[in-house]
């Protein structure tokens, strides 16, 4: 049930537009998926505009992005006799929009869903582009499908519900978009940093960058792979620490570390100048604390990259920078190179 013409609406007070969408003929039932945070802080904002619906609440956190949580969603859809004309509204951050979209895309071979992202990470990245999925056996987004939502409603006002750490986590994806496709934005907007008064223009520009890339390559057979910059090393680091109780880090924190590592790998191959590497490192360390691991763990972390979804057989394919603002995908790297990049990061 592909929907290549997904509308992305960015603005404040979007309840009436969501209401109009859900009143369309042909929608049999509405299900709203929330987590323990958004049910308190975000759901009351939208509830007055929602038609009669079933609320499905899940615990918040990456550790709940699992098949067990999917079973909760599928069970409630089944118990309420949801048919293929039902619509699922996912109200939450990247974990919830990824998982809720996956559950909708696989229930009865696919029902429609709407994304209402409430974190910066979800607004600029996770909810846009049609990637859905869950974690499995400790690996990030190991199971999932490409499925475009019916619509995406992005309200920057929801960002007021976030603490500084969550906001910074999402900001990593904004920086990634600059580094892979917008050198001018990196040169100018990084001076504003995380101290943004109105996020609307930042979100709009970041979404436009991602949409332009996704539209050219919806199923990630080529160009779309550039969006994985920072994620080969970042996902390995995030997955490793997720399995270490009390040491978990947020997705954006892992991606920030991954961008430094992969920028270093780019410089090692002569693709990125020393000055560019320094500017990336200096900026990222001005926003993010260093991810904590010890040198003896680098080999174990690097091994997890062998499970990366972009790989071809045993070849680890990475996105590197050919200068700031220009990404190159399908660059083969080795486990040893990843481990060395992590040791470099650790020494900084």
Radius of gyration of the chain (CA): 20
Q: CA 110, CA 106: separation in Å to the nearest integer?
A: 5
For residue 297, count other CB atoms closer than 10 A to its CB: 17
* Closest to 127 (Cα-Cα) out of 106, 107, 147: 147
Strand partners, 321: 327
Interatomic CA distance for residues 23 and 17, integer angstroms: 10
Alpha helices in the chain (DSSP H): 15-22, 38-41, 43-46, 67-79, 94-106, 120-121, 164-181, 183-189, 200-216, 231-242, 251-268, 274-287, 298-303, 335-347
Name beta bridge partners: 318. 331
Which residues, listed in sequence order, are joined to residue 153 by a DSSP beta bridge? 9
Cα separations in angstroms, 150 against 19, 28, 48, 193: 14, 15, 21, 33
Q: How far apart are CA 151 and CA 8, in angstroms?
A: 6
φ, ψ (nearest 5 deg) of residue 31:
-120, 135
Catalytically active residues, by annotation: 109, 131, 173, 210, 220, 224, 228, 231, 235, 251
Distance CA 73, CA 180 (A): 36
DSSP-assigned beta bridge partners for residue 54: 31
Full DSSP string of 163-222: -HHHHHHHHHHHHHHHHHH-HHHHHHHTTTTT--S--HHHHHHHHHHHHHHHHH-TT-SS
Structure token digits, residue 337: 């190179």
300: left (phi over 0), alpha (psi -120 to 50) or beta: alpha
């Amino acid at each position: 049930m592909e929907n290549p013409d997904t509308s992305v609406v960015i603005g404040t007070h979007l309840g009436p537009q969501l209401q109009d969408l859900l009143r369309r003929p042909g929608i049999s039932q509405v299900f709203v998926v929330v987590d323990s945070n958004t049910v308190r802080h975000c759901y009351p904002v939208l509830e007055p505009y929602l038609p009669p619906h079933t609320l499905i609440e899940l615990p918040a956190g990456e550790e709940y992005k699992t098949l067990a949580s999917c079973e909760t969603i599928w069970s409630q859809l089944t118990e309420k006799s949801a048919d293929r004309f039902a619509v699922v509204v996912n109200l939450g951050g990247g974990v919830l929009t990824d998982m809720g979209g996956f559950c909708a895309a696989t229930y009865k071979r696919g029902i429609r869903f709407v994304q209402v992202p409430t974190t910066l990470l979800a607004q600029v990245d996770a909810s846009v582009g049609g990637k859905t999925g869950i974690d499995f056996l400790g690996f990030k987004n190991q199971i999932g499908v490409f499925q475009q939502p019916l619509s995406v409603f992005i309200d920057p006002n929801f960002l007021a519900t976030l603490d500084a750490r969550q906001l910074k986590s999402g900001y990593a994806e904004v920086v990634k978009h600059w580094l892979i496709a917008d050198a001018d934005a990196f040169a100018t907007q990084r001076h504003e940093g995380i101290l943004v008064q109105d996020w609307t223009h930042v979100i709009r520009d970041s979404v436009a960058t991602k949409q332009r890339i996704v539209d050219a390559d919806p199923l990630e057979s080529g160009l779309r792979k550039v969006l994985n910059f920072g994620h080969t090393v970042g996902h390995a680091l995030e997955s490793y620490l997720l399995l270490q109780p009390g040491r978990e880090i947020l997705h954006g924190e892992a991606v920030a570390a991954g961008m430094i590592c992969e920028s270093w790998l780019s410089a090692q191959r002569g693709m990125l100048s020393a000055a560019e590497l320094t500017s990336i490192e200096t900026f990222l360390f001005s926003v993010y604390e260093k991810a904590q691991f010890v040198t003896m763990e680098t080999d174990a972390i690097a091994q997890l990259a062998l499970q990366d979804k972009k790989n071809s057989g045993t070849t680890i394919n990475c996105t590197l920078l050919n200068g700031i603002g220009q990404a190159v995908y399908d660059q083969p790297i080795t486990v040893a190179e990843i481990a060395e990049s992590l040791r470099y990061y650790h020494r900084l």
